[in-house]
Amino acid sequence: MSDPARIAAFVAGVLLVAVTATSVFTTLVIPRATSSRLLRSVSKLLARSVEPFLARLDTYEAKDKVMGLVGPLALVVLFGAWLALVVLGFALMVWWVGGGAFGDALAQSGSSVFTLGIVSGRGGGERALDIVEAGLGFLTIALEIAYLPTLYSSFSAREAEVTLLAARGGVPAWGPEVLSRHVRFQTVDELPELYATWERWAAAVSESHAGYPSLMWFRSPDSSRSWLLALVAVLDAAALHLALAPSSAPRQARLCLRMGINCLRSLADVLRIPYDPDPRPTDPIRLGDGEFGDGFELLVSVGFPIEVGRAEAWRQFKGWRVNYESVVDQLTKLFMPPPAPWLLSRPWVGPASFPSIANRTPDDPEATSGPTARGR
């Protein structure tokens, strides 16, 4: 090869290593939404690549298992891509400095990045590159290893509240069921604490998932649960509480709604999902009046303290839900949470089922008395 070609390869190698090192530093050391572009792109690409396989699976549980690979696999692909780019970049530099064949330069670069020492340079320039590459490779691998505990710590903290909500909001989680069970369990006084907990949860998820977007693709251990579905259930419960009992609804419900909306929008910003930042309360929403009626009738049947009529409750509820429904629908298409009432309908995923609960006692083992949640 001519000297100009080798010089061009050397410059390309320097640029490639510099860009890769910047990507590693900004993604693993500076967790900001703007610093995770490559990680976000890899995750979205993998999610789209498995869609043809999902269509061939019959059950949601099978689809969930496939989707469960996307988040962890995105990290493996990203880590491997960083190391491969470092090897290629230094190989281009060694190719010019050493003057030998490119295959030999590639072998030398691979040996250096993993600090194997199998192949090493002969001249001073090659050995200097070997030392720099070994240091960069060691630092990259160390940062990747240190990154995983942080990631799984955030995942574990997120899933703890999602799991706890299963008892309070049913499986799958549903906003009206959250309010209904607190009435049945005579724990309505605990709703302010629930809203406050999920306000803090939404703030933590907004911070961690915007900085580490691959977390959004990490699915719950149980296929019937989902962080997105749980958040929507709590937001719907808070919006219903404010719509049905405006004078007695706790102030924490409004704060939870505000933080939940901010959380969803911050994730939408990371994923470049468009939304209206200031919708009008009178704007239309996807949820229909008939679907709202299912939840309204459930709360009437359990004796929830309703202060307004159905029409006014629906009008007020729409004014709250318009702030987050469009973002939720786009995230639902992307992350494929389990089918649930009031969530975007996806026939290819499966039909939505209503959560149910039966008050079984030794005196009434079949739970023939008392209200039970509807099942469909």
Q: Number of structural domains, the chain?
A: 2
What are 193-229's pLDDT values in tens digits? 999 999 999 999 998 888 888 889 899 999 999 999 9
CA distance 117 to 98: 17
Separation of alpha carbons 206 and 203, rounded Å = 5
Mean of pLDDT values over 161-174: 92
Answer for the pair 365, 184: CB distance below 8 angstroms, yes or no: no
Show the tokens assigned to 87. Answer: 């090897």
* Contact between 322 and 285 (Cβ < 8 Å): yes
Higher pLDDT, 268 or 71: 268
pLDDT above 60: residue 35: no
Phi, psi of 29 (to 5 degrees): -105, -35
The reply to whether 344 falls in a domain is no
Q: What is the mean pLDDT of the segment spanning 127-145? A: 86
Same domain for 177 and 52, yes or no, is no
pLDDT of the residue at 228: 96
User: Between 140 and 241, where is the model more confident?
Assistant: 241
One domain, residues 141 and 201: no
**What 3-state DSSP class applies to 29?**
coil
Task: Give CA–CA dist 67/203, Å, rounded.
Answer: 25
What does the pLDDT read at residue 283?
A: 96
- Amino acid residing at 128: A
pLDDT tens digits, 304-338: 999 999 999 999 999 999 999 999 999 999 999 99
**What is the distance of C-alpha 36 from the center of its chain?**
14
**At 138, is the pLDDT very low, low, confident or very high (cuts 50, 70, 90)?**
confident
Q: Do 136 and 285 belong together in one domain? A: no
Q: Are residues 117 and 201 in the same domain?
A: no
Q: Which residue has the tokens 């690409």?
A: 45
| CB 82 within 8 Å of CB 22 | no
Domain containing residue 22: 3-146
- pLDDT value, residue 364: 72
Residues 119 and 195 in one domain: no
20: helix, strand or coil? helix
Residue with the bigger pLDDT between 255 and 355: it is 255
Nearest CA among 93, 122, 117 for reference residue 105: 93
Which one-letter amino acid corresponds to residue 184? R
Based on the domain organization, do 53 and 187 belong to the same domain?
Answer: no
